[in-house]
Structure formats: structure tokens, C-alpha cells
Amino acid sequence: NAGVTQTPKFQVLKTGQSMTLQCAQDMNHEYMSWYRQDPGMGLRLIHYSVGAGITDQGEVPNGYNVSRSTTEDFPLRLLSAAPSQTSVYFCASMGWGGEQYFGPGTRLTVT
């Protein structure tokens, strides 16, 4: 069981570039989500999905897109990167008891 995996671990983008952060889980969890973590802010929910084909916005969705074509994968797309999107991004899936399993994170810098 790999749990929740994320790629890449680190990424540097220039303002205006786009990219996709990958997330996959092998636990057959229906619910998956993306958070960003900034110093002094705590983790904030970007988007979430309650199952394949269903996504919804969290607290800070602007500038990000998601899709969920399979149970396993939940990619996060940055459409046009901005310096304000410099952050650490965590993907998570929810177990049957409500506990969340987080990936190792992607550290993104936008210059």
C-alpha cells in the first residue's frame, strides 16, 4: 500500500505558466481533497471530490481547477501561476472512519 502519493516534490514556475500537480491513492477512498499550507495560515481547503466525476470548491479555489475521472487520481491544475500561489500543496483522501491520509506534499515556488 503506497497510500497517497504526490508528484512532483518540488516545482519552480514563472508567473503565467501552467502546471498540474498529480495525486493518487491506492486505498479505494471516495473522498479526496487538496489543501495548501502557508506560514501562519494553517491548511486551507482548495477543492474536494466525493467520488469519480464529482468535484466542488473549498475555501480558496480561485486560480485552480480539478477533475476526477477515476477513484484513484485527483490532479490539481494551476491555470496561470501567480506568486500568491507559492505554497506547499497537500493532497488527502478520507478513510471510512473520517480520518484523512495526507500525501508528502508538493513545494511550489512561483517567481
Interaction site with other proteins (CB under 8 A):
4, 31, 33, 35, 40-45, 48, 50, 56, 58, 90, 92, 94, 97-105
Q: Residue 41 or 79: which CB sits closer to other proteins?
A: 41
- Percentage helix, strand, coil, to 5, in the chain? 5, 55, 45
Q: Nearest approach, Cβ of 80 to other proteins (angstroms)?
A: 26
The Cα-based distances of 3 to 11, 50, 61, 69 in angstroms read 22, 18, 25, 19
Q: Nearest approach, Cβ of 39 to other proteins (angstroms)?
A: 9
Helices marked H in the chain:
none
Q: Residue 21 or 94: which CB sits closer to other proteins?
A: 94
Q: Residue 14 or 40: which CB sits closer to other proteins?
A: 40
- 60 touches 111 (CB < 8 A): no
